[in-house]
Structure 1
Amino acid sequence: MSSGITGPGFAPPSKSAVRRIVFSSSIGNALEWYDFLVYGFFAPVIAKLFFPVHDQWISLLLAVGSFGVSFLTRPFGAIVLGLYADRRGRRASLTVSILLMVLATLMIAVMPTYSSIGLAAPILVLLARLVQGFAVGGEFGSATAFMVEHSPNRRGYFASWQFASQGLAAISASAIGALLNAWLSHDQIAAWGWRLPFALGLLVGPVGYYIRRHLDETPEFLLQKKQLAPARAPVFDSQLANLLVAVGIVAQSTVMVYVLQLYMPTYAVKELGLSTAKSFGVVVLNGGLQFLLSPLMGALSDRIGRIRIMLTTSILMAVTIYPMFHWLRDHPTIGWLMALMALSGIFKASYSGPMPALMSEIFPTRARSTGLSLAYSLGVTVFGGFAPFIVTWFIGVTGDKLAPSYYVLAAAVISSISLAVVGLAMRRRAPASALAV
């Protein structure tokens, strides 16, 4: 496991450069998660408009299933755009990914419904989701590599903005969802209101594209580019072990998003009988904590170590998640839902804030973007993409409303084991001065 090039020899970026680096690298991630959360939040409406069947449960399964289908193309996007970033530059890959994301979002925003064009409607929605999945497959790795390679001594702080931007996306998506459900009638939302969040998401695309087109390439990549490029993608030979443990590390982070953020409004309404607007509102709290605390936890990891923070958080999540859901099932109120979402927001920030920097230190510069993109895409595909589908199916079959807690618990155990493996490997193979471990 390698940390790449360390601080000496790299001048720290100016404050204005820091703002450009953080914004340009985070905007694509924020747009990605905003669109994903909006699609998940409005899944019941989308199910009726694009996947109409007589059984509402099956219709909802088809809608959340189409949400998960986009994750099948993530690994392909990770390989293609990751290799492109490792050979042509982080900036070039980031520019391509945001263009594809905007295209996919536009397709969904203007898509005619099943009643207008029949079977072509769900097929085109699936196509848009596949394009978006391909685009975001390379986004995480390229954006994370871009941030950490600009400031090797502050990797935790810089890379934490990846997940701070997810928190901002959760705030925006859930706030818009709450406002639309409070202001518009059900018929208005079904007729045209559900399109508004996607249209609003399109506004940030051109800004992100313009800024990315005018960025400088990272110092580490430019230095690495002078060396002879390997004939094969290095992530598929010497980096295979690193890839596997990185996928395990992603498990808890992605499950906390897809189960404890995206799925919770649907769970609160369908299983707990709570109001739609209030259920969206509590996600704002969760996203707000993630937005505020992720940079703090990332910066703290630069001081005391990433493994220490993340492993502690993972263990705490494993111990507390079942009792929290058990209590919420027996006391289905907005107050207790808010308490669960607040605690999960703190856990999410504590775990995910340091995570991108730790993953970037697992892979060397020559394979960093490909390794990060592929590990993240595989982790999200395996553990996150079909999480709402699996949980919805399990509750429908068994009637057990504690199903979300089982899924989160399993992910926490997997991530704890992966973190322990990485910690031991880094102690044995890497100089302590080169890693924040």
Structure 2
Amino acid sequence: MSKVQDPVLREGTESPQALKRRQARQLFALSAGHALEWYDWAMFGLLSVYLGQAFFPAESVVAATLNSLAVFAVGFVVRPIGGVFLGLVADRLGRRPVMVGAVGITAAASLVIGITPTHETLGIWAGVIVLLCRILQGFSTGIEGSLGAAYGVELVPERPGYVAGFMATFNNLGNMLAPLTALVTTMLIGPEGMAEWGWRVPFILGGLLGFIVLWLRRTLPETLPPVTDGSTAPASGKSAEVWRGVRKYWLSVLAVVFIVGAVQAYNYTWLSGLPSMATGTYNEDPTGVFAVSTTLGGILTVGALVLSRFLDKWNLSRAFVVGRILAIPTIFLVLLYTGDGVGQLAAVMLGGSLVLLLNLTIFSTVANLMIPQQFRGTAVGLGYGIGVALFGGTASYLFVYLRSIDLGALFPVYVATLCAISLVLYLVAKRRNGVFAGK
């Protein structure tokens, strides 16, 4: 049997350098889809002021922005459904087909949003189309973040810190490309052109890039263990057995909900809440706001790449605990932004960037290592989806809304409480159930 046909023999005869190169190629194909997901979701929140006026017009810019952010949140609501359904498929039939299908749906929906006529042309149906696209994206990306991290630690089980940093680099690259695309478009056509039609460019670009990611993922190997007859087909465990495992580790699943939810509430406050409030509430120059967001994305991207070189030399659990503790006081930086210019916005967003970097880099890998491999897709998909839907998807809306009714001081208290709960649940679940290697 040739080396290509027998993956076990291939791994056994590869040099360490060749093995690392192959693993890097596989992680790149996997992480490129993560970059697309984060690009797409960051873009929708970042351009919510334009989307609101185009598809969900209201009596004021702030109201239209809130309408758009509400649709942004709806995409998160369906993520647990997608996470559970597709996670169960991944645990029974394999990781690869699910990851290929999910990125295809995300790309197609992004392209449709970019070419859909506005409310002025289609009336209410324009908003309905965008809403349906967000629902489809929520369903498909409900598994992208959780299963992608699981897939990564299964591809490279001996280096979870490297996987966390490598994949976070591309996650953050997506976050950086979103405001960068908006910044370049705004600089080329001006704020008026951006409001009129330029906001479509990033969505069309995201859709086209998605089909390139599909091509890259076609060669990913399957990591689910083979069936007992010796074939290389993935194990097809019964659904009941998977759910028994999920129930057995219910405390770990609950911990995943808050581990994910707390950091995503922090994350989307920085990625879309602050920029949306700057442009929609305080009428800041959009070019300057996009420049600040792009700088933040650059810090997160480069920082995650640097962390990928060092995380395996540290205790990943200890790094998570330190990062989560630091997030509690740092979230209160949002109170310092009062609409007094882009410089003040930059000080707040960049001031919290390093704490955001550490938390974003490791949270998904930490969550996946709390669940055994045989039902990791379902369990983490469930916990991840609920956490993002309850706390991440609503963060931007809640942040802008509380500020609009002069209760903005409550928001950082809310996020800090989520961080504290996540820390307690993680430590309790880790002590009771332990943690698991990539395989």
Q: TM-score, normalised by structure 2?
A: 0.88
State the shift of 1:310 in Å. 1.6
Matches of 2:257 and 2:193 in 1, distance apart? 42
What residue in structure 2 maps to residue 250 of structure 1? 260
Q: Which residue is equivalent to 1:5?
A: none
1:207-248 C-alpha deviation (Å, 9 max, x unpaired):
211121222212x53379776724413354223222111111
Cα distance in 2, alignment partners of residues 381 and 369 from structure 1? 17
User: Match for 1:221 among 214, 219, 225?
Assistant: 225
State the alpha-carbon separation in 2 of the partners of residues 348 and 161 from structure 1.
16
CA contact (8 A) 1:42 1:194 kept: yes
Cα 1:299/1:351, change in 2 over 3 Å: farther
Give the aligned CA root-mean-square deviation in angstroms. Answer: 2.5
Match of 1:49?
Answer: 54
> Does the C-alpha gap of structure 1 residues 184 and 404 become closer, same or farther in structure 2, counting only changes over 3 Å?
farther
Structure 1 residues 327 and 50 mapped into 2: Cα distance closer, same or farther (>3 Å)? closer
CA deviations over 1:236-263 (Å, ceiling 9, x no partner): 4223222111111112321122101122
Cα distance, 1:404–1:178 mapped onto 2, change above 3 Å: farther
Q: Deviations over 1:329-383 (max 9, x none)?
A: 3x83434432332232211221122222222211111111122222211111010
**Counterpart contact for 1:247–1:375, Cα < 8 Å:** yes
Equivalence for 2:5? none
The residue correspondences of 1:278-427 to structure 2 (distance < 5 A) are 278-322=288-332, 324-329=333-338, 332-397=340-405, 399-402=406-409, 404-425=411-432
Distance 1:62 1:14, change over 3 A: same
Q: 8 Å contact 1:160–1:352 — kept in the other structure?
A: no
Which residue in 2 is equivalent to 1:107? 112
Cα 1:409/1:70, change in 2 over 3 Å: same
Give matches, 1:13-32, under 5 Å.
Answer: 14-32=19-37
- Alignment partner of 2:155: what SS? coil
Q: Distance in 1 between matches of 2:399 and 2:222?
A: 42
State the distance in 1 between where 2:425 and 2:357 align. 19
Report the AA paired with residue 355 of structure 1: F
* Distance in 2 separating the partners of 1:74 and 1:321: 25
- Percent identity between the two aligned chains: 26
Q: Aligned partners of 1:132, 1:240: CA distance in 2, in Å?
A: 27
Partner residue in 2 for 1:277: 287
* Aligned-pair CA distance for 1:113: 0.9
Q: Report matched runs for 1:228-267 at 5 Å.
A: 229-232=237-240, 233-234=242-243, 235-267=245-277
Query: Counterpart amino acid of 1:124?
Result: I
SS at match of 1:149: helix
Name the SS of the counterpart of 1:370 in structure 2. helix
Of residues 137, 149, 154 in structure 2, which corresponds to 1:144? 149
Matched ranges for 1:62-81 at <5 A? 62-81=67-86
Q: Distance in 1 between matches of 2:124 and 2:172?
A: 35
CA distance in 2, matches of 1:239, 1:94: 24
Out of 243-252 and 154-163, give the one that drifted further. Answer: 154-163
Match for 1:280: what amino acid? F
Seen in structure 2, the aligned counterparts of structure 1 residues 231 and 32 have a Cα distance that, compared at 3 Å, is: closer
Kept after mapping to 1: 8 A contact 2:264/2:392 = yes
Aligned mates of 2:278, 2:234 — CA distance in 1 = 54
Following the alignment from structure 1 to structure 2, what is the Cα–Cα distance between the partners of residues 374 and 328?
35
For 1:198, the equivalent position in structure 2 comes to 203
Contact 1:285 1:341 in 2 (8 A): no
Report the Cα distance in structure 1 between the residues aligned to 2:192 and 2:295, rounded to whole angstroms: 28
Question: Contact 1:156/1:353 (CA < 8 Å) preserved in 2?
Answer: no
Calculate the TM-score normalised by the size of structure 1: 0.88
Give 3-state SS (helix, strand or coil) of 1:165's partner: helix
* 284-293 or 363-372, which deviates more: 284-293
Is contact 1:40–1:262 with CA below 8 Å preserved after alignment? yes
Question: What is the identity, as a one-letter code, of the residue corresponding to 2:321?
Answer: L
Matched-pair contact (CA < 8 Å) for 2:69–2:397: yes
Q: Which runs of 5+ in 2 are unaligned?
A: 1-9
Q: Which amino acid aligns with 1:365?
A: Q
CA contact (8 A) 2:226 2:235 kept: no
Mapping of residues 90-101 of structure 1, within 5 Å = 90-101=95-106
Distance across 1 between alignment mates of 2:276 and 2:140 = 27
Give the aligned residue type for 2:188: W
Q: What does residue 4 of structure 1 align with?
A: none
Structure 1 gaps, min length 5: 1-8
CA distance in 1, matches of 2:429, 2:227: 27
Q: Distance between the aligned counterparts of 2:140 and 2:168, measured in 1? A: 18
Give the superposition deviation at 1:18.
2.0
Q: Which amino acid aligns with 1:357?
A: T
> Counterparts of 2:51 and 2:322 in 1: how far apart (Å)?
39
Give the direction of change, closer, same or farther, for the CA distance of 1:283–1:404 in structure 2 (3 Å limit).
Answer: farther
Larger mean CA deviation between 199-208 and 402-411 belongs to 402-411
Deviates more, 1:73-82 or 1:9-18: 9-18
**Counterpart residue number, 1:178:** 183
**Residue type at the aligned position of 1:279:** V
